[in-house]
Chains A and B, each alone.
Chain A
């Protein structure tokens, strides 16, 4: 009743807008509901598998706990961080993480770029045969690869030692995986060997997207192969290169993990370990989840910063052919 009275005092125009607004809002509500429904599965999975563990890690970094059911984490403040910096293998694991990250770049960027460009100009079956050969190391299980490399580099029964002895390069057998001069280089090399195939495929895919007309135009103008590579291929591949750079930096520690675990267990005397392997050891070998979380937390922030920087670089330098 009052409604009617009110309406009487109002001009017809305002009344009309009110009604349409109401209708619009109702529609909007329905619209805002739907996207959330679509997001739900992703949010659920991310929530359970990523964000909850992430928050637990931040919480556990300040606790002492052995993860045994029935025991309760005990708060210890910053003790885990202090202990972390005093742990024998922590500094060397950081050093090695940097070593592996930088060392893997030639295998994830430089060599694949060359291989992809060279095979791109091939015709017919040869192109696919070569690319398949490059890709095979990537799909071999790290455990299998490690077993094969371990036999190759076996101090007495291995092919490599026998060959080097026969040629006369060495006089005594070398225990490659027990020698700090070789162990981490071999792990780096094996990781890189596996990565080449993956990067080559990515670069090859990106290369096929480059318009052939550019090359033809450049050739007509007298540009050499090398010139075309520098002035056309590189700039147009820059988004892919930056993507691979990010991938390589962020994942090199993960890719080396399996080889470290199977071949050296971080040794000899911690000289081939990396931060991932140390975190795993703290958590699942020493059952000190607090220490492991503290390392993970530091790692999270450092790599977060690196990712932000790379994002910025990527936005600034990537060139898109629009």
Chain B
């Protein structure tokens, strides 16, 4: 009897202990002290950096180089080791945070920043980094870029990689079709004409913009005078006459036989294989596209986002911000060193020349010490720097339903563009669904 009793009580205690242990989570300590701790080069602090650029073949070498450069210079000198972690689907960092792992710096997209701030314990820069140093560092970064990561007047993300849409052009296909790649189409009507011509002469698709691109779409809506969300972000407004017209234009284009079909990945593969005349995507693909053009033996040209008639086009930015959630003063100090480096002059020079994103410190493009030589060699960047004037930020969907609402919007666009569904009905239905959630 004694043995069984003992055994059972032991068993129960064991079960309880296990359940308590597995329910137990590391609690995060909040520090509102904006002073950072001190670093010791002999005893380096390791911080993790979750980056989607590390997961994409076109960007990986550049991002790895950036991290390596930091570790070899400032990191070594001050005692910081940055460990890059590839995060292709923007889910690894969430899963790892949920699992209680150390996730210190995250390359985060803008559209769901508000949501992550609420749910993942992101810190505001003002709360964790020294005020004077922060102000000093932000000087020289394009002010509208700084606004992007601000929520309720606090910076939860510092704009990091940044690009506008660009129309990559395959010079060889243009010339075969008797078109001039130095004089690319400016309006959507011209783009359609060019596209049909290329298809007719070469048999290859003339134009490509993937319905699931996720961000260029907003630029098309804005370019025709449409809107995404109301100012107070309490109402979706993308089903207006202007938006519907814009998407109807794209639907007609997509289905006219000369537009490439498929997902964004498939379209980029098609363009890089030399089988597509024009392809709208992010400048982030630049380094990959340049290599593909060299390998395929064709010239790469470029143009901005086409416009509707004589209305100037309004592109949105794609890209990411750096969000931080370090939880000790030493870590804050380490994170701050890393952020200063990668968003500083050296960092942006590497980001632009090795990956393809725009330098948010725009004067670097004029500085012979940094990027002037590169921009002169790659005139495509001038198009993008030019587009920065008209640029609008991508929509930051309201916190609680951010992922659901952005999915509803993107799915509605895919349905409207790639099927025979009525554009107006599809967008209105999606708008109503979203409004039911966010009002």
Least CB distance, B116 to chain A, in whole angstroms: 8
The answer to whether A284 touches B94, judged by C-beta atoms less than 8 angstroms apart, is yes
Within 8 A of B (CB), among A161-213: 172-175, 177-180
Within 8 A of A (CB), among B17-55: 18-19, 22, 25-28
In the complex, number of A-B residue pairs with CB atoms less than 8 Å apart: 126
| Cα–Cα distance between A87 and B270 once the two chains are bound (Å) | 35
> Which A residues are in CB contact (< 8 Å) with B376?
none
| Cα–Cα distance between A132 and B414 once the two chains are bound (Å) | 42
The answer to whether B11 touches A268, judged by C-beta atoms less than 8 angstroms apart, is no
A38 within 8 A of B: no
Among A62-70, A219-227, A243-251, the one that faces the other chain is A62-70
The answer to whether B261 touches A268, judged by C-beta atoms less than 8 angstroms apart, is no
- CB 8 Å contact bits of B83-108 with A (1 = contact, 0 = none): 00000011100110110100000000
| Cα–Cα distance between A67 and B100 once the two chains are bound (Å) | 9
| Cα–Cα distance between A219 and B57 once the two chains are bound (Å) | 63
Among A5-13, A102-110, A151-159, A314-322, the one that faces the other chain is A151-159
| Cα–Cα distance between A52 and B205 once the two chains are bound (Å) | 55
B374 within 8 A of A: no
Asked if A29 meets B1 with Cβ closer than 8 Å, knowing A88-B433, A154-B266, A285-B403, the reply is yes
Q: Name the one of B22, B120, B212 contacting A66, with C-beta atoms under 8 angstroms.
A: B120
> Which A residues are in CB contact (< 8 Å) with B120?
66, 68, 287
| Cα–Cα distance between A87 and B437 once the two chains are bound (Å) | 10
> Which B residues are in CB contact (< 8 Å) with A269?
411-412, 414-415
B379 within 8 A of A: no
Least CB distance, B266 to chain A, in whole angstroms: 5
> Which A residues are in CB contact (< 8 Å) with B260?
155-156, 173
The answer to whether A69 touches B411, judged by C-beta atoms less than 8 angstroms apart, is no
| Cα–Cα distance between A36 and B12 once the two chains are bound (Å) | 13
Asked if A157 meets B273 with Cβ closer than 8 Å, knowing A68-B120, A172-B257, A178-B262, the reply is yes
The answer to whether A67 touches B98, judged by C-beta atoms less than 8 angstroms apart, is yes
| Cα–Cα distance between A47 and B211 once the two chains are bound (Å) | 46
B269 within 8 A of A: yes
The answer to whether B205 touches A156, judged by C-beta atoms less than 8 angstroms apart, is yes
> Which B residues are in CB contact (< 8 Å) with A89?
407
Least CB distance, B18 to chain A, in whole angstroms: 6
Q: Name the one of B28, B91, B266, B411 contacting A155, with C-beta atoms under 8 angstroms.
A: B266
| Chain B: number of interface residues, binned into ranges | 35 or more
The answer to whether A29 touches B4, judged by C-beta atoms less than 8 angstroms apart, is yes
| Cα–Cα distance between A48 and B20 once the two chains are bound (Å) | 11
The answer to whether B119 touches A87, judged by C-beta atoms less than 8 angstroms apart, is no
> Which A residues are in CB contact (< 8 Å) with B144?
none
Q: Name the one of B3, B14, B15, B266 contacting A175, with C-beta atoms under 8 angstroms.
A: B266
A313 within 8 A of B: no
Least CB distance, A170 to chain B, in whole angstroms: 12
| Cα–Cα distance between A52 and B121 once the two chains are bound (Å) | 27
Which chain B residue lies CB-closest to A155? B262
The answer to whether A287 touches B98, judged by C-beta atoms less than 8 angstroms apart, is yes
- CB 8 Å contact bits of B243-266 with A (1 = contact, 0 = none): 000000000000001001111001
> B residues touching A (Cβ–Cβ < 8 Å)?
1, 3-4, 7, 11, 14-15, 18-19, 22, 25-28, 89-91, 94-95, 97-98, 100, 118-121, 205, 211-212, 257, 260-263, 266, 269-270, 273, 275-276, 403-404, 407-408, 411-412, 414-415, 418-419, 433, 436
> A residues touching B (Cβ–Cβ < 8 Å)?
29, 32-33, 36-37, 40, 44, 47-48, 52, 66-71, 86-89, 154-157, 172-175, 177-180, 267-270, 284-287
15 contacts between A and B (CB under 8 A): A40-B11, A69-B26, A69-B98, A89-B407, A155-B266, A156-B270, A177-B266, A178-B262, A178-B263, A268-B212, A268-B415, A284-B98, A285-B89, A286-B403, A287-B119
